[in-house]
Structure 1
């Protein structure tokens, strides 16, 4: 694990993670007395830093605590994941294990749930003791400090297992347990005092080894059985390679889209041979909004060498690795499709504007006709008041001039008098 990555692992979101995050930086975060709770990452990124193998399953516990209770942050908080799914949470204040996944609900009376509760309560006490031990060894008593722990195991496709148990203090990698030698690896000189103190008690090392190599894999198998159907879903990725031409180099981008679970391997080949990881510009795996994932990896190449490179993708949803490469034909097809789609969209817009204009024009004409009709009726009712049957209709120019009015009056008198 890279330096400072442990801080990122533990300072994950306490609520649901946002669905379109960009990869967080692995360096440059504040150190020492920083307010760790202001830095958040998703559990997806935290689990990705463990570099889990495609087709494997993992059980991961993330612990975090701080030294100042008056900040409103818990002294100890734990989140547990099977693969990338959060299924349990716990904190020091409530001392209760809370189910966080649908496939766990209704199982809280089982023996497995009782074991989880006992383990988390025991780790709560151990975490508190370890925190004060580390602070005492650093002569830290009043300042704000944080402690982060990640522990768990991975069961790979061949049933081999791998355990991990790592501590981070104030944003830096601190100690890592090595089960093969029953000792602790110090990541910095300041951790040596704690390393020596913990290695005096060999019973703790043996208990850690037993959990990582025996208890954790057994617990993971029980959880996988409990979550059957929800945890064994396999969605294979679709893969494409695109090109961006620059002034000096060409950038090839390999994308794997809409896959589950998140564990995936994407690697560039040149003339069929794998490239060294240091030659790859960047890569990331991010969540989609529908529960699946997307991954990408970028490579800078010479402008005339694009077709010598191939992207190889391995995923548990694939029967065999998927190979993808950039080609002029596929690029031309995509350009043609984009052009056709753009033309159709423009035609639809023009047609929509024309229809809207005609509808508006007709409405205006109908409104004008209706207004003129209303004005005519109002003029008639104002010009004449009918008192009986009439053989002669009053002329429209009734009051347009005085002679017209006089002629109408004489005619009216002869008719009725």
Structure 2
């Protein structure tokens, strides 16, 4: 049985001669929720770097464009043709998972997540990925180079791996799409979305302190940066500290923020500094804890103030809770 992967059915119309300037990573996430052996819902998204380009859902079985350039250079007829493959994918996926459920006798409800990825550099086979999770735990992944499935740690991992080893047509279809079509589609999107991907905004870095029992909590707040990948660390006397960090969160203007926190004693605070590495910076940005930077007043204006202060408060709360139960 041939299963079409929704993330890449778009690429069936993509010529392989497309090339891209630079390398941009394309990732597709598909989610399938099953209950009593039947698929209840299917949804997914296609992203370049951290920008969502398209989405689909089995309620409509059509592709939703998230960016003004999401349609690339495809015609309306092309997209109608692609939608046919999307509907076929949903039907074939349901047949395959129903078959697995019946063979394994699984009656519980669970969520299957499949993540596929490639870069816009043609021939970059090392960057091809296809991973599957069950209820958030690794179920299995496909070794694209060798064409074999490797079991994870989730329940029924060995069983899923055994069944997928028999589904040679499905495996070959996934590998073919990853190798021959995914990079070409990524190259097209990296071209039509060139201005968006080239956008780089330098981070604003603020470092502050607050009393915590007999110690001092030092918090580094980094905000207003783009793209999303960033490395933020707190250092003391040229040694990187083991810090608590929240997830990278979005601001309301399309940029991002992150908060990092450590605890030091009163005498150590003068030697603390925050170090930030980002693609918008020619060299790491270093901000020391001193009178100029430790005040949050006037940090930012508008809605960003509320967001940063909330993150700051949440980081302190989590840290105190951690210290209490340690």
TM-score (normalised: structure 2): 0.70
Question: Are positions 1:299 and 2:262 aligned together?
Answer: yes
Query: Equivalent residue for 1:49?
Result: none
Alignment of 1:218-367 (within 5 A): 218-275=184-241, 279-328=242-291, 330-331=293-294, 334=295
Equivalent position SS for 1:229: helix
More helix by percentage: 1
Q: 1:199 to 1:105 in 2, by over 3 A?
A: closer
Give the one of 125, 132, 137 matched to 1:167.
132
Q: In the aligned structure 2, how far is the partner of 1:160 from the partner of 1:240?
A: 41
Q: Is 1:62 matched with 2:29?
A: yes
Looking at structure 2, the residues matched to 323 and 116 of structure 1 have their Cα atoms a distance apart, in angstroms, of 49
In the TM superposition, residue 67 of structure 1 has moved relative to its aligned partner by 2.9
Provide the residue aligned with 1:215 in structure 2: 181
Question: Any gaps of 5 or more consecutive residues in structure 1?
Answer: 1-54, 339-417
Instruction: Check if 1:131 corresponds to 2:97.
Output: yes
Query: Equivalent residue for 1:191?
Result: 157
Greater RCO structure (CA 8 Å; 6+ sep): 2
Q: Secondary structure at the match of 1:218?
A: helix
Contact 1:251–1:300 (CA<8 Å) still a contact in 2?
yes
Residue correspondence of structure 1 range 87-98 to structure 2 within 5 A: 87-98=53-64
Alpha-carbon offset, residue 295 of structure 1: 1.4
Take 1:126 and 1:323, find their aligned partners in 2: how far apart are those partners? 53
Distance 1:237 1:208, change over 3 A: same
TM-score by length of 1: 0.56
Cα shift readout 1:276-297 (whole Å, capped 9, x = no counterpart): xxx2222321111111111121
Q: 1:105 to 1:207 in 2, by over 3 A?
A: closer
Equivalent-residue separation in structure 2 for 1:200 and 1:287 (angstroms):
43
- Quick one: distance in 2 between partners of 1:296 and 1:56? 29
Q: Deviations over 1:330-381 (max 9, x none)?
A: 44xx48x77xxxxxxxxxxxxxxxxxxxxxxxxxxxxxxxxxxxxxxxxxxx
- Structure 1 residue 241: Cα displacement: 1.4
RMSD over aligned CA atoms reads 3.4
Unaligned runs of 5+ in 2: 1-21, 299-326
Residues of 2 paired with 1:66 and 1:202: CA distance?
Answer: 24
Check whether the contact 2:134–2:154 (CA below 8 A) recurs between aligned residues. no
**Offset, 1:57:** 3.2
Give the superposition deviation at 1:235: 1.0
Check whether the contact 2:125–2:179 (CA below 8 A) recurs between aligned residues: no
Q: Which has the higher strand share?
A: 2
Question: What SS does the corresponding residue of 2:187 show, helix, strand or coil?
Answer: helix
Larger radius of gyration: 1
- Residues 23-34 of structure 1 aligned to structure 2 (within 5 Å): none
How far residue 110 of structure 1 moved from its aligned partner, in angstroms, is 7.6
Say which SS state the counterpart of residue 183 (structure 1) adopts: strand
Quote the residue 2:109 is aligned against: 144
Q: Distance in 1 between matches of 2:272 and 2:77?
A: 53
2:51 is matched with 85
- The answer as to whether partners of 2:249 and 2:256 remain within 8 angstroms in 1 is yes
User: How many aligned positions are there?
Assistant: 273
Superposed CA deviations along residues 105-161 of structure 1, whole A, max 9, x for unmatched, are 5744189858965774564345324422442344124x53332222223569xx896
SS at 1:94 equivalent:
coil
